[in-house]
Amino acid sequence: MIKQPKVSVVVPIYGVEKYLHQCVDSILAQTLEDIEIILVDDGSKDKCPEIVDEYAKKDPRIVAVHQPNGGYGRAVNHGIELAKGEYIGIVESDDWIEPDMYEKLYNNAKENNTDVTKGEFYIYNSFLPEAEQNNVWKNRYQDLDEAPDNVFSIDEYPLLLAFHASIWSSIYKAEFIKQQQVIESRSASYQDFPFMVEAFCRAKRITIVKEPLVHYRMEEGMGSSTLRRDARLMIMADQCQKCKEHLIKYKKHETLKEEFYFHAFLANDAFYNNILFKHKYEYFLKIKNLFHNLKNDNNFTFKYFTSEQKKSMNYYIHGNFYRELCKYILKQLRKFIIRIIIKPQKKQFVLQFLGLRISKNKHLNTPCILDIKL
C-alpha cells in the first residue's frame, strides 16, 4: 500500500448490492491510479459485505472496513479518519463517477493549493426516456459554470452556499477536512448540508472544475426524499438549524444570510408541501423557528426569491398556521359552492353575498369571477 496516496476515496455502503459493482468499478477505472479506496460497510444485511471483501482481495488499493450500523455520518467519518491520502473524496455507493474525475480534481487542487475543489454532476434516472436519463444539474441561480475561474472564498462568491450540497462532487485537503465531521445519527438524513456549510465557512481557497464528474442516481425505488411524505422530511429543518449554528460560529451569518436562507427555503418548502397533513403543523413550527431571525430584519432583501417564493417565505416568517388553514378551507368551500351547488340564475346574488368580486363580461354580458378575496 502506498504510504500517502494522492487521493483517498471514502465510500459509505449500506444495502446497495444492486449498484455497488458499478460504483466501485468506476473508482477502480480512474486515470489517477495513485488512490486509496476505503469501502466502509455500515452493517449491511444484503451481499454488500461479501462484495467489499471480494474487491479488497483483488486490488491492494482497497481498504475493507466493516462496522455495526451507525448511519451515513458515522460511515463517512470513519472513512475520513482512516484515510491516508493527501486529498479526500467521498462517493455514495449507489452513484458512479467519470474515469478522469479524480485526476481533474486533484490536478486543479494541487495547482491552486485549495482546501476544497468542487466539480459538477449529472442527475441520473433510468426511468426517464433515454435522452433525458443523464442531465447536468443546473437550476435557477445554481449553475457552476458561472462561478469564478480562479481561487475564491465563500465571502467572494457567496452564491455557492445556495447550491446543492453535493459533498461527493468535491475533494478536500486531508489536513483541512479531518478537522470537522459529518453529523452522526442512524436515523438522520441530509447531513451533507451542514458538512458543506462548515467546509465552505472554514475554507480559505476554493476552486471549481466546470465539468460534470459524478452520476448522482435519483430514481424510483430508492427511497428518495423526493418521494417521501412521512415525518423524516422534518429532519431537513433540523439540519438547516445546524447550518445556521455554523454560520453564527464562524461569524458569517450576516454576510451569507441571503444565500443560506434561499437554500434553506428551497430545501424545506418542497418537503413541507409533500409531507402528510398530520405532520404539517409540527414542520411549520420548525421552519418558522429556522427563519425567525428574519422577522424584524429590514436588511433581508429576498435577493434570489421569485414573487411566489417570497410569498411562501413570508408565510413561514409571519404566518399563522391555523389562520392560513382556515383561509384555505374557506377558499376551497367557496369554490365548491360556486361550481357544484349554486344554480346559474342565483350565482350572482350568492357570489356577492360571499364577498366575491363580480364583473360583467363585455362579450357575453354575463357575470364572471375575477378572483377570490380572503
**What's residue 129's pLDDT?**
72
pLDDT one-digit tens code per residue, 147-183: 999 999 999 999 999 999 999 999 999 999 999 988 8
Model pLDDT, residue 151: 98
**Residue 62 has which C-alpha cell?**
482497497
Mean pLDDT of 306-310: 95
Lowest mean pLDDT among 52-61, 203-212, 307-316, 354-363: 354-363
Q: Identify the pLDDT of residue 128.
A: 74
Q: What percent of the chain has pLDDT over 70?
A: 84
What is the phi/psi pair of residue 103, to 5°? -65, -45
Give the pLDDT of residue 75.
95
pTM above 0.85, yes or no: no
> Which spans in the chain are helix H?
17-28, 48-58, 72-82, 101-112, 174-177, 192-202, 235-249, 253-274, 277-290, 307-318, 321-336, 347-353
The 3-state DSSP class for residue 12 equals: strand
Please state the rounded mean pLDDT for residues 115-143: 83
| The predicted structure's pLDDT at residue 130 | 72
Sign for the CA dihedral angle at 175, 176, 179, 180 comes to negative
Separation of alpha carbons 64 and 295, rounded Å: 50
